[in-house]
Amino acid sequence: MESIGPAVFWTVQALAVLLFLLGVGSFRALVQGCFTLRRRDRAGSPDYSDVLLKSALAPAVTTIAVPPDALPESRQFARRLLDLHFGRNEVVIVLDGPSEAEMLTWSSEFKLYRSARPVERKLPTAPVRGVYESRDPIRVVVVDKEPGGTADAWNAGVNVATSPVIGLLDPESEFAPTVLLRMIQPMLEAFEETVAVCGGESIPPAADLTSRWGALESLRAWMTRGAAFASRNLVLPIPGSAVLARRDSIITSGGFTGGALELIMRLHGYALASQKPYHIAFLPAPVSFGRAPRGMAELRRMVRRDQRELALAFRHRKSLAGPFGWRMLQDLYLDRSVRPKLETVAYVLTAAGLVMGWVDWKLAGFVLLSTAAMGMVQSLGAVVLRELAQPARSAPAQIASLFLAAIPENLGYRQLRNLWLIADFFGSAGSAKQNRGRMVENHPPAASATPTEPRP
């Protein structure tokens, strides 16, 4: 027992120092993001949306939706895509193994008829059972395919698309009708080098405390994965952001294996391996942003969704980006996987050490300083640095509410969130397999129930 006390003391001390250094590194990334945003703000970014809306020079864009069902929310999202302001916008809706009832619902929604439109096999997918278009004067294409999973459905959408640019919008986000007009502009500035554009802003806070915690988390991710990573040409999308990508780049790199994050990683990896000049642009504009979580259940769901996508991207980093995968994800891995584990271990050892008399209160205070206090510095710093980079973006009352939310965020919620991050990082692979099985079970192959008469 005599040897255990000193071992615990020195372990806790080492953990506290390491956590403090990780916190300094995270704050450094926020500062880097601030300088990137400030340079962009000073350089100016004129909006040519009105000109591009009527210009024939803007390339056509195909926005792809992969709805999981035929519920009103899914149909509403498809309608939102059709309402986007753009000169040549086509919407491709891919139904991954829909039931007969779901196919009838979609057919009734858009007055579908079977189309003779050919489907290219640029990317391997499960068999396509039918392609349908609308009798209404809207550019919508509905693809009925055998079950193959969400990534397989995205690839089917790319095969069906005829536009040189593919648009990806998050169904759980709010986006402006002019999102495509704003997003296409960085691509037009250097179309040959720009393979993709990630755009959007962080979640705006609502009135309740949980929404402010979600807004702080989104703000930190936006300033690091977006702004800070953009300074190194390693930008990655955050939940709620919009993505435009060149169709030929998607096909050449091998298509989708997951969501937007994995696609952007694959585009980075392929471009870096080819050793050709390339650029994935970052557009810090209010064109798209995630919805504020209302209540702990929605906040838990938001954290789980992002963490599992990051965990899967990290586990597949070699197949996505080869030797460059670790370079893209090392900062996120330290912040979202290593730090939560170290903090949890530090809290447990400190509590046990205080009870047994192995750890004094000064060292316990240092542990709190390197974890909770450093977390407050990061949250408060993100708010201040955002205002320094883009003045007058937030109302004073909104800034004050975020400042106050940073205190309970790090004295209770942070410790709970650490447990969420640990569980979600380890549970991502099994969850993905379960979701794939559940998808096949809930959407068995069925004969198409839509009309098959030719175009009138």
Residue 391 has pLDDT above 90, yes or no: no
Q: State the pLDDT at residue 451.
A: 33
Q: State the pLDDT at residue 70.
A: 93
pLDDT classification of 190: cutoffs 50, 70, 90: confident
How many angstroms separate the CA atoms of 433 and 197, rounded?
A: 30
Residue with tokens 């993709």: 196
Residue with tokens 């970052």: 282
Q: State the pLDDT at residue 371.
A: 96
| Stretch among 31-45, 139-153, 389-403, 433-447 having the lowest mean pLDDT | 433-447
Q: State the pLDDT at residue 118.
A: 85
pTM reported for the whole predicted model: 0.88
Could you read off the pLDDT of 115-157 as tens digits, one per residue? 988 888 899 999 999 999 999 999 999 999 999 999 999 999 9
Q: State the pLDDT at residue 437.
A: 42
How many angstroms separate the CA atoms of 378 and 394, rounded?
A: 18
Q: Percentage of the chain with pLDDT > 70?
A: 91
Dihedral angle sign, alpha carbons of residues 256, 82, 165, 188: negative
**1-456: CATH architecture:** Alpha-Beta Complex (3.90)
Q: State the pLDDT at residue 441.
A: 38
Q: State the pLDDT at residue 54.
A: 63
Could you read off the pLDDT of 17-27 as tens digits, one per residue? 999 999 999 99
> What mean pLDDT, rounded, does the chain reach?
88
Residue 223 has pLDDT above 90, yes or no: yes
Residue 39 has pLDDT above 60, yes or no: yes
Beta pairing class for 165-168 and 112-114:
unpaired
Q: State the pLDDT at residue 50.
A: 65
pLDDT classification of 192: cutoffs 50, 70, 90: confident
Residue with the bigger pLDDT between 449 and 318: it is: 318
Number of other residues whose CB lies within 10 A of the CB of residue 166:
24
Beta pairing class for 128-134 and 140-145:
antiparallel
Kindly provide the residue ranges of all beta strands, DSSP E only, lying in 164-312, ordered along the sequence: 165-168, 173-175, 194-199, 242-246, 279-283, 288-290
* 64: amino acid identity, one letter: I
Could you read off the pLDDT of 96-108 as tens digits, one per residue? 999 999 999 999 9
| Stretch among 190-204, 244-258, 417-431 having the lowest mean pLDDT | 417-431
Q: State the pLDDT at residue 443.
A: 35
Sorted by where each begins, the domain ranges of the chain are 1-456
Residue 429 has pLDDT above 70, yes or no: no
pLDDT classification of 1: cutoffs 50, 70, 90: low
43-72 mean pLDDT = 81
Could you read off the pLDDT of 229-267 as tens digits, one per residue? 999 999 999 999 999 999 999 999 999 998 899 999 999
pLDDT classification of 428: cutoffs 50, 70, 90: low
SS3 annotation, 96-121:
ECCCHHHHHHHHHHHCEEECCCCCCC
Gap between the terminal Cα atoms of the chain: 87
Residue with tokens 């992002």: 306
φ, ψ dihedrals at 260, nearest 5°: -65, -35
Could you read off the pLDDT of 354-367 as tens digits, one per residue? 999 899 999 999 99
210-230 mean pLDDT = 94
Q: State the pLDDT at residue 438.
A: 39
Residue 410 has pLDDT above 90, yes or no: yes
